[in-house]
Amino acid sequence: MSVADLLWVEKYRPRSLDEIIDREEVVSRLKSFIKIGNVPNMLFVGPPGTGKTTAALALVNDLYQGSASGRFLELNASDERGINTIREVVKDFARSRPSTGVPFKILILDESDNMTQDAQQALRRIMERYASVTRFILLANYQWGIIEPIQSRCAVFRFPPLSPTHIREGLIRVLEKEKVSWSEEALEEIIKASRGDMRKAINIAQSASGGSKKLTRESVLQVVGVLQPREIREMINEALKGDFVSARKRLAKLLYDDGLSANDILREMNTELMTIEMDERKRFQVVNALGDANFRVSMGADAEIQISTVLAALMADFQK
């Protein structure tokens, strides 16, 4: 028995390109690849919950017409054994080229912008060497997290946050299948909290409907409070107040206890820093520090140390 049927996000993930909403342009391009029976290396770029994995899996499913098993593999790039694992997997692929049908296999590489620059260089060589037997679909939050030589070898597809209309549509589809009743205000709150992230929207809906099969504004608000990463805002506030030691402790908790990726922490900080009340001159200094930290982490520097500089920037006074 799989855990997939316990979680709505997985249970109702679109299986085919035809089921995907709000991505007409992406979907039509992907379909044209299927028609000619060949796909290029691809890079799917967008924030979490915008359908990158879903599109990749649906493509695989449609391409191999349901018998995809053994012909594609999903790997997580941020594993530090990553690049060697990928090399091994691709080698095995090359050895067992399928005799009939589509003459290549597909490797989906999740979170590929979490790879260091060195790992990406190695990946690029692998992509070149095995080009004839393997196509790569790289999934990433940021395009600039991927080195230029890889970008130029890929067809780039963008996955911007979903529009409120499409989040609503997706939610209603799931709620109807689960026979959950909902109020209009509840839906509004979910859409607001999801910020265009379909996975988050569905997760909130599942948590808030609980055992009762009813979605109310109150139950949604309660869940939103728990599922949102408030820790990051608190960390920023502590730094703004000048309590660096507490802010750094919280950062360590996020990195090591919760095990969050530096990428996620930096993205969330970026979102917060754009909206939090702050002198504009200071804001650009702090956001600049965040950019430096982001770059250095992707070069292989230590996340805690680099992000600490952003916390220190929040404490500094840039008036003069």
What's the distance, Cα to Cα, between the start and end of the chain in Å?
63
- Count, residues near other proteins per rule CB under 8 A: 64
Figure out which of the listed residues 48, 145, 170, 196 binds other proteins, where binding follows CB under 8 A: 48
Task: Give the number of other Cβ atoms within 10 Å of residue 204's Cβ.
Answer: 27
The answer to whether 312 contacts other proteins (rule: CB under 8 A) is yes
Q: What tokens does 243 get? A: 């309590």
293 binds other proteins (CB under 8 A): yes
Note whether 66 binds other proteins by CB under 8 A: no
Nearer to other proteins, 1 or 36 (CB): 1
User: Cβ(241)–Cβ(277) under 8 Å?
Assistant: no
**Least distance (Å) between residue 170 CB and other proteins:** 16
Piece in contact with other proteins (CB under 8 A), picked from 63-71, 84-92, 173-181, 225-233 = 225-233
Residues 6+ apart with CB under 8 A from 237: none
Establish if 319 lies at the interface with other proteins (CB under 8 A).
no
Of the listed pieces 9-17, 23-31, 186-194, 269-277, which binds other proteins according to CB under 8 A?
9-17
Residue nearer to other proteins on the CB measure, 129 or 237: 237
Residue 212, C-beta contacts closer than 8 angstroms, at least 6 positions apart = 219
Provide, for the chain, the percentages of residues in helix, strand and coil under a 3-state DSSP scheme, each rounded to the nearest 5: 60, 10, 30
Residue 140, φ and ψ in degrees, nearest 5: -150, 150
Q: Quick one: which of 206, 219, 294, 298 contacts other proteins (CB under 8 A)?
A: 206
State the Cα–Cα distance between residues 295 and 120, nearest whole angstrom.
Answer: 14
User: What is d(CA 290, CA 267) in angstroms, rounded to the nearest whole number?
Assistant: 9
Measured distance CA(64)–CA(105) in Å, rounded: 10
Kindly state whether residue 313 participates in binding other proteins, applying the rule CB under 8 A.
Answer: yes
User: Phi and psi (nearest 5°) for 75?
Assistant: -125, 155
- Establish if 216 lies at the interface with other proteins (CB under 8 A): no
C-alpha to C-alpha distance for 213 and 112, rounded to whole angstroms: 38
Helix (H, G, I), strand (E, B) or coil at 134: strand
Contact between 114 and other proteins by CB under 8 A: the answer reads yes
Q: Taking Cα atoms as reference points, which of 103, 26, 92, 93 lies closest to residue 63?
A: 103
Out of 23, 105, 135, 200, name the contact with other proteins by CB under 8 A.
200
178 binds other proteins (CB under 8 A): no
162 secondary structure, DSSP code: P
Q: Per-residue string for binding with other proteins, 134-173, x by CB under 8 A?
A: -----x----------------------------------
List the beta strands (DSSP E) in 18-133.
Answer: 42-45, 72-76, 105-110
Nearest approach, Cβ of residue 96 and other proteins (Å) = 22
Distance (Å, rounded) from C-alpha 295 to C-alpha 302?
11
196 touches other proteins by CB under 8 A? no
Q: Which of residues 238-267 bind other proteins (CB under 8 A)?
A: 242, 244-245, 248, 252, 256-261, 263-264
Would you tell me which residues interact with other proteins (CB under 8 A)? 1-4, 6-7, 9-10, 13, 48-49, 53-54, 57, 74, 76, 78-79, 110-111, 114, 139, 199-200, 203, 206-207, 210-211, 223, 226-227, 229, 242, 244-245, 248, 252, 256-261, 263-264, 289, 292-293, 296, 299-302, 304-306, 308-309, 312-313, 315-317
